Structure 1
């Protein structure tokens, strides 16, 4: 699978979070439920200081003792200067080198296929922060940029 290495500046993002594990039988429900809440409860609309209209799926706080435990945050990029509503949290996407993959097609299939290929690659990952950046809001024909944190 092709990718390019990009150097990103630090970004701030605001959204809602949950903790899960890829081996957990309810992982899909946890992640799907988070995405559902983000839109159905008006969280996206209520977050102030958005810097663009893209939505992010951020994977962070990997458990060092159990590599498959992580926190997922469904968020949008913000300037980080305004108070957040409700249970929204502010997270930092660290500056650094990232492998950027581009997935296109039906949203769920494209994301799942791309991650399966990433997991099979021998990348020098940091396991500090990886994220998906949704370029549009389509379900059938979408484009997602997936950034995987790399060691320097």
Structure 2
């Protein structure tokens, strides 16, 4: 894989999100985020979420304390039409309208996601470090041939 990842520029309007969040950094993210995904698969806390906008699962990176080398928050959840009535223990966020670089990560999970992020970190993209997210649909959970969209907020 090249050090310059392929992407397209796109725009997302504001949307609401509800999910479970952790604080991590890239030093421990593989274990921390892996554990959060394991909890999600065991407990599926989205079952209790009302007002789901669709069936996609979203992983959101936010509350950056600097660039990708600093701590940040990560949450697994979904888009919702309203943040009202969010289950206890979950975070409710409003993701502001923004421009994004859209990457398509393909291959074996979770390696394809990690490889795409390494390409992003090594690229010259001018990131905002506000809200970045991964979108998972049915194609995303094929362990040998996953397809995951990754959106990076850009200037």
| Aligned equivalent of 1:121, options 91, 114, 123 | 123
| CA RMSD of superposed structures (Å) | 1.7
Q: Give the superposition deviation at 1:38.
A: 2.0
Aligned length: 149
Q: Give 3-state SS (helix, strand or coil) of 1:74's partner.
A: strand
1:122–1:12 Cα change, 3 Å: same
Write out per-residue CA displacement over residues 29-58 of structure 1, whole angstroms, 9 at most, x where no aligned residue.
321121122231230211111111111110
Contact 1:135 1:145 (C-alpha < 8 Å) held by counterparts: no
SS of 2:85 mapped into structure 1: coil
Q: What TM-score do the two structures reach when normalised by structure 2?
A: 0.89
1:9 to 13, 20, 28: 13
Matched with 1:130 is 132
3-state SS of 1:125 partner = coil
Task: Specify every segment of 5 or more residues in structure 1 that has no aligned partner in the other structure, as ranges.
Answer: none
CA contact (8 A) 1:59 1:70 kept: yes
Separation in 1 of the partners of 2:83 and 2:89? 17
What do the CA deviations read for 1:45-93 (whole angstroms, capped 9, x no partner)? 1111111111111000001399521000111111124301120111122
Which residue of structure 2 aligns with residue 21 of structure 1? 25
Q: Following superposition, which runs of at least 4 residues in structure 1 exceed 6 angstroms of deviation?
A: none
TM-score normalised according to structure 1 size: 0.90
Describe the superposition over 1:3-41 as per-residue Cα deviations: whole angstroms up to 9, x where unpaired: 1000110111111000011123xx323211211222312
